[in-house]
Amino acid sequence: MGDVIPFKRKTAWQKHKGSSLCRDGFHKWQVVTERKFDVKQGRLVTEYRCQRCGKTKTKLL
């Protein structure tokens, strides 16, 4: 038999910490830089930033 590990419920503060939509992957993307040229890859790049959490992502065209 293994050791018994007691499980604790998360407190309300821990459960709702941060933006729950962004934590679950539902970001609110907004275009920051549209049609910027990437010299190394030779493609146009669009940069997106989440309005709620500030995470950024880039998309090649």
Query: Is the pTM for the entire model greater than 0.85?
Result: no
50/16: higher pLDDT: 50
pLDDT in tens, 21-46: 888 889 999 999 877 888 888 888 89
Q: Domain coordinates of the chain in residue numbers?
A: 26-60
In whole angstroms, give the CA distance from residue 9 to residue 51.
31
